[in-house]
Each structure stands twice: as C-alpha cells, then as structure tokens.
Chains A and B, each alone.
Chain A
Amino acid sequence: MTGPLIPMNIIPEAWNNVIALLIGIGFGFTLEASGFSSSRKIMGTFFGYDFVVLRVFFTAALTAMTGIIYFDFMGWMDASMLYINPFYVSPAIIGGLVMGAGFALGGFCPGTSFCGIAIGKIDAMVFAGGLFVGIFFFSEAYSLFESLYNSGNMGDALIFDMLGMSKAVFAFLLIMAAIGMFYGATFIEKLVKKVEY
C-alpha cells in the first residue's frame, strides 16, 4: 500500500475522524507517560535539571523523519504528497518568539496543556483558557496583524532547499546534531543541582 493512505483514497475519507481520535489517543498517552503533563518537568529543559522535552521532542521528530525518508525511498509512501506548512518568514519568527515567551510564563504548549487537563492540572486548564482568549484576540484584531501575517511568503519551502543542501545531507547532519545534543544534555544534567518537583 502506498501512503499517505487517505489522500491516495485507499482508506475512505469517512474514517478520517476515527483515525484522528486514535492518533490523538496515541499522542496524548505518550506525552503524558513521558511527563509532559507536568509544567515543572517541561521547564527543566530550560534550567538544565531535566532534559526530557529535548529528548522526547528530537527523538520523535527524527524517528518520524527517518521513517518518512525510508518509506519514500522504498516506494511505500509518496513524500511529495505530505502537507507542508507554508513558510512566511517574519510571522514564523515573530510568532515563535511570542510563543517562547508564552512557554516560559505558562510552562505548557497547547498539546501538553490538554494532557495536563486530562490528569487534573488546574494550571493547565487556565493555560488552555488563555489559549482561547489569545486566539480570539488575534482573530478580532486581525486587521492589525494582517500585513505581518501575510508578509514574506516563501510557499511550501523545505529547509534543505533553502540552505542549498541535499535532503540526505541535511537529515544526516540533523541526526548527528541530535546525538551530540543528547550526550551533552546528560552531561549538563550531572552538573546542575537537582530540583525536586
């Protein structure tokens, strides 16, 4: 079977929502089991006492990336059909900076806050409430953000094309960087004083 299955009409469109629910359950379970429902565990990455976010995040991204590249190579999946978020240069950077500030204050990101809600974290509920308010505010004040929101459109840009590298070289360097980072994280954890949470 050549993936992606639903865009290729191998699985009917009607299954979309059922699959969404199942994938969501897998997503929520692994996030919670890895400790992403605790804001203080998440924040450990930024203070060096617990690098769980760094490890889970990069392992996950690289596992999926490797899977996609190998399936594409074997002809089991058409990687050119996968959805690529369009790249708008300045909104991506400014949005990321704003999200970083929100991260440092709130201690969650949207996905992990839903996990926190599931196990009864009140701070996660307040954070998710803030998300609604923030998105509502953005939508209402859209005319203020409109020119920024639409600026610097580069289309469905891929990072290795922009750097003038081949996909293989970039993926390889990313894996090497991640391995280096994981060992570095273990090293830093040993130096930093443990925080009880």
Chain B
Amino acid sequence: MNKNYLILTILALILGFGILFMPDIKHNNEIKPEKLLLMVDEPSRFLSSDVITDRLVKKDPALVLIDVRSAAEFKTFAIPGSINIPLDSLLETSSLEIMGTKDLDKVFYSNADVAADQAWIICKRMGFETIYVMQGGLNNWFNTIVKAEKPADTEPIETVELYQFRKGASQYFYGNGDSTAGQSQQNTQKKTTILMKKEAGASSGGGC
C-alpha cells in the first residue's frame, strides 16, 4: 500500500514540475469568421448621420466620433467634435485604450464607408464592443447636414422638421452655414475633442 502511495506522490511531483516549467499558453481570442459574417450583416452596426449629429449637438459624453482618414485630410476638413485615428495607427496603445472603454460608443467615419468599415472589422475581430460606422461617411454627412436642402412647403411636416434640425446643427457647427467660416471654428472644436478623449481614458477599466 505504502509503495503505491509513493509512486502516486512521485507522479504528482513530476506533473507538478511539468506545469511549473510550461511556457505560458497564448489563446487566440479573435472572433470566428462565421460569427463575424453574421455581425457584418447586422444593420445595427450603422448609425445615421442625423443620429450622430443630434448626439454631437447635445454633447453626449458617451459618443466618440473617430475619423479614420489620414491626418492631412483630417486637418483640411473634418466633422467638428471628432477625433483623428488614421487607419494605420488604429492598433497603437492610445487608440486601443479608447476602443476598450466599455461605456463609450465608438463611431468610425471616412470619406465614404470603406475605410471606416475596415476599421470596424479590425476592431470587431479584436473583440471590442459598442463600435459603429457612420452611414455614408463624410460625404453623406456633408450633403445632408451642411448642405441641407430646403424642402418645398408642400412636403410633410417631418421632412420640414428634419430640415430645420439639420439647418440648426449646421449653424451650430459653422455659424451661418458658410463653410469658410467653419475652418476657424474647427480649431476651437478640436479642444473639446481632446477633453473628451481624456475623459474616455480616465474611465477605461483596462480595456482589452
């Protein structure tokens, strides 16, 4: 009996030492392709430019609008209140910290949908939640909000209200809807952006 216990003890010791000298195991926690396909198909990953504009005007602290175009393009023209994370620097620590903040809606946009979609897929594969794409990108935003067309008086009341909202938002961003005036305004807007980013970092609980 005692001899058997000795063998068991030695076996346990060998297994224990084996574990001790085992290299750390890394797990691949990326989402499976099938699951990702389902998520890509889900229309709720898009947010319309009106919804985002509304939240920007209301200074929603739970929204961060991310421009994934290059820094040069961002400087020339960008949606006021957005921050710039070029696609190629998406995986830097500072940007991952924003992505990992749980209670923050991260919305990507580029000129059209393509670059924003790429950013979305990369982040989704890394397992980040509450990330969205602004539908139609900057082009659509510019056409609907900044260059909002006055509807005819015969249009239904909803359309008129939507126009008034868009006009109001445009004035909120650019004064009288003059896009050259918008350039000077943009600098002050950038300051609030930086503040927002810090807030995001402070509340992040480790992220990924």
User: Do the two chains touch directly in the complex (Cβ atoms below 8 Å apart)?
Assistant: yes
- Give the B-binding residues of A (Cβ under 8 A): 62, 66, 69-70, 72-73, 78-80, 166-169, 171-172, 175-176, 178-179
Query: In angstroms, how far is the closest chain A Cβ from the Cβ of B6?
Result: 11
Chain A CB within 8 A of B16 CB? yes
Q: Do residues A175 and B25 form an inter-chain contact, with CB atoms below 8 A?
A: no
Asked if B24 is an interface residue, CB under 8 A from chain A, the answer is yes
User: What's the least CB distance linking A6 to chain B, in Å?
Assistant: 15
Contact B27 A69 (CB under 8 A): no
Q: Which residues of chain B are within 8 angstroms of A168 by Cβ–Cβ distance?
A: 19-22, 24
Complex contact B27–A171 (CB within 8 A): no
Evaluate whether A172 and B25 lie within 8 angstroms (CB atoms) in the complex, with A66-B15, A179-B9, A179-B13 already known.
no
Complex formed: what's the CA distance from A166 to B23 in Å?
10
CA distance A73 to B21 in the complex (A): 11
Q: Is B12 an interface residue (CB 8 A)?
A: yes
- A73 to B24 CA separation, bound complex (whole angstroms): 8
- Asked whether A171 and B25 contact (CB < 8 A) given A179-B9, A179-B12, the answer is no
Cα-based distance from A169 to B24 in the complex (angstroms): 11
Which of A70, A166, A175 is B12 in contact with, Cβ under 8 Å? A175
Complex contacts, A176 vs chain B, CB 8 Å: 16
Contacting residues, chain A, for B9 (C-beta < 8 A): 179
Q: Which 7 A-B pairs have the closest CB atoms?
A: A175-B16, A80-B27, A172-B20, A171-B19, A172-B16, A168-B19, A66-B15
| Complex: A79 Cα to B13 Cα, angstroms | 23
Q: How far is the CA of A66 from the CA of B16 in the complex (A)?
A: 8
Contact B19 A66 (CB under 8 A): yes
Q: Is the CB of B22 within 8 A of A79?
A: no
Chain B's closest residue to A65 (CB) is B19
Give the distance in Å from the alpha carbon of A176 to the alpha carbon of B17 in the complex. Answer: 10
B24 touches A172 (CB 8 A): no
A79 partner, pick from B15, B17, B19, B27, beta carbons under 8 A:
B27
A62 to B22, CA, bound (A): 17
- Any chain A CB within 8 A of the CB of B93? no
B12 touches A69 (CB 8 A): no
Chain B residues closer than 8 Å to A62, beta-carbon distance: 12
- How far is the CB of B35 from the nearest CB of chain A, in Å? 11
Cβ contacts under 8 Å, B19 to chain A: 66, 69-70, 168, 171-172, 175
Contact A169 B20 (CB under 8 A): yes
Closest B residue, CB atoms, query A75: B25
Knowing A80-B29, A179-B9, say if A166 contacts B24 (CB, 8 Å): yes
A186, closest chain B residue (CB) = B5
Contact of A69 among B13, B21, B22, B29 (CB under 8 A): B22
Residues of B within 8 A of A66 (CB): 15, 19
When C-beta atoms are compared, the residue in chain A nearest to B15 turns out to be: A66
In the complex where A175-B15, A179-B9 touch, is A73 in contact with B25 (Cβ < 8 A)? Answer: yes
Cβ distance A186 to chain B, nearest Cβ, rounded Å: 9
Chain A residues with CB under 8 A of B25:
72-73, 79
How many angstroms between the C-alpha atoms of A138 and B20 in the bound complex? 43
Is A171's CB under 8 angstroms from B16's CB? yes
**B18 contacts which chain A residues (CB < 8 A)?**
70
In angstroms, Cα B21 to Cα A168, docked, is: 8
List B residues 1-51 near A (Cβ within 8 Å). 9, 12-13, 15-22, 24-25, 27, 29
